[in-house]
Amino acid sequence: MSYAAAPAVVRLPIGRARFVLFVFVAAFLVLIGRSVWLQAVKTGFLQERGEARYSRVLELPATRGRVLDRRGEALAISTPVKSIWAIPEDLRTSAAQSQQLAKLLGMAPRELERRLAEASRDFVYLKRQIPPETAERIAELGIPGLYQQREFRRYYPGGETMAHVVGFTGVDDKGQEGIELAFQSSLAGVSGSRRVIKDRLGHVVEDIEAIRAAQDGKDLRLSLDSKIQSLAYGALKSAVEAHKAKGGAVVVLDARTGEVLALANTPSYNPNNRARLTGAQLRNRVITDLFEPGSTLKPFTVSLALESGRVTPDTVIQTAPGRLTIGNRTIHDAHPGGAMTVAQVIQKSSNVGSAKIALAMPREEMHELFRRVGFGAPPQLGFPGEAAGRVRDAKTWRPIEQATMAYGHGISVSLVQLARAYTVFARDGELVPLSLVRTDMPAVGRPVFGAATARAMRAMLETATQPGGTAPRARIMGWRVAGKTGTAHKLENGSYAAKKYVSSFVGFAPASAPRLVLAVMIDEPSAGQYYGGAVAAPVFAQVMQGALRLLDVPHDAPLTPIEIPGEGEIAEEST
């Protein structure tokens, strides 16, 4: 093609060329400015976004402290487990992987889909506290956006025997009941944390720094003796089943130190498997349940009269004809008697005799005594749900109420309050503070009665367990025992139920030098027998004998077999 036929070269106007050049230069300057802005001014923002994708702060859970009995046997220990969590927006699974993941997590595929759909974009737990071997199989699926977290699950070797004492933790390893709740702060410890870099599959590729070191929880050694606890629970459970009772409770105290050696309830539950837990199973009856103590309160009324010099153990009280009318109310004895000594009032458990002794004293003195032995105030064990009980103001007492309070009606107490109150007889008149933590030190008691009064009452309470008393079934071979039965009608809707009872027995041994105080309560026995001497006293005997043997307490009685009396040979107490 000739030069003349070639197309002409079109030149842009100089103004337009300069405009295009300006646009290119301006764009270049904007890019440079943006680069400087992001890399010099907004560095923190970019690092934050980058770290949000790859940097993670891992929580390093602290190991929860163990709960031990006084001998060092484990009652609660922590075992390592894994929790599975996900970032829903990063989760990528095939249909087969979803099916397999749901199966390993123990849930339906639809349930897994629903949980992921309802969760936030950043975090959702899929399953807490799964076994490590299951977590390994999940990790092998290699699912992006799926992560694991190391945690601990609590295991309770004592099972239902120790359930009401030790309690349990929730899925977040925080105490929910019992000792686990009461001592949460010391058992839990403090979690630590580390900053790491993870790849898109959730694998740690770089450990950057430690933010805070984990501080493990402290071990807690309780005052409980697991062998005595097991003995108490077994005897109580058998008695509740035999008498078709609604429930029951036992508490064993060391009279020297105030330590709680056993605290058992039934019905109980397995803290390792709480799928079908009910409120009745959770109730710690020793601590929370209140009841009218019945005749177990008579020793306090009589001790007050002894201490003030109004009576002696040999003072004669006329109880004939076995009833006492006050206003429009009449008090009855189960077996009408005649003239009785004060000691026989305790031995035979006379309501009329106790009422007459009480009415000879100012009501304010009785009220003050009840408060001084711990009734009407929590026992200060540091245990969740401690009941205070009820002691009405003395100014509101009518004569009939003062009379019935002498034998435990019109006042409410917990079993642990009642057991603690009996330490005044076992400790020569001193009331001791109680402890659920091992102390191994003699307790410093608070004087309530003089030593002479306490020893006189010990002798009278020993006669109650001898033939002719209300609790011969409380006797054991090799040790002298002392104690008192109680049988009280239950209150329902403000009135006493005709055929519902609380049967109880409180006592101590050896009577010559008391080491243990033991209280038993059986709620609503319905197999025919309901008197404390027939229902609760045998439980006392079984647990007390085994506990004294375990503690190697010296004998103070001959090692001769004890003849168990028949039903007709037991002096029934008044209700």
Residues serving a catalytic function are 295
CA pair distance 572, 537, nearest whole angstrom: 13
Question: What is d(CA 569, CA 162) in angstroms, rounded to the nearest whole number?
Answer: 37
Nearest alpha carbon to residue 487 among 303, 271, 298, 355: 298
Residue 141: half-sphere exposure toward Cβ, Cα within 13 Å: 26
Residues ≥6 apart with Cβ < 8 Å to 345? 298, 302, 317, 319, 353, 354, 357
DSSP H/E element including 219: none
At position 425, the amino acid (one-letter code) is F
The percent of the chain in helix, strand and coil, each rounded to the nearest 5, is: 40, 25, 40
Give residues with Cβ within 8 angstroms of 243, minimum separation 6. 522, 525, 526, 527, 529, 535
- Residues sharing a CB contact under 8 Å with residue 110, sequence separation 6 or more, in sequence order: none
CB 361 within 8 A of CB 308: yes
Contact between 85 and 115 under an 8 Å Cβ cutoff? The reply is no
| Torsion sign across C-alpha atoms 533, 456, 427, 377 | positive
Distances (CA, A) of 395 to 308, 327, 367, 401, 404: 21, 18, 10, 11, 16
First to last CA, the chain: 135
Q: For residue 3, give the DSSP letter.
A: G
Closest by Cα among 444, 442, 448 to 432: 444
Query: Do 56 and 87 contact (CB within 8 A), yes or no?
Result: no
CB atoms closer than 10 angstroms to residue 277: 15
Cβ pair 222, 179 in contact under 8 A: yes
Q: Quote the tokens at residue 93.
A: 């699974």
Exposure pattern of 31-62 as b/e (b: 16+ CB <10 Å)?
A: eeeeeeeeeeeeeeeeeeeeeeeeebebbebb
Q: Look up residue 201 and give its two tokens.
A: 């599959």
Please write down the HEC assignment for all residues of 318-340.
ECCCCEEEECCEEEECCCCCCEE
Number of H helices, E strands in the chain: 21, 21
192-198, strands of its sheet edge to edge: 55-60, 192-198, 204-212
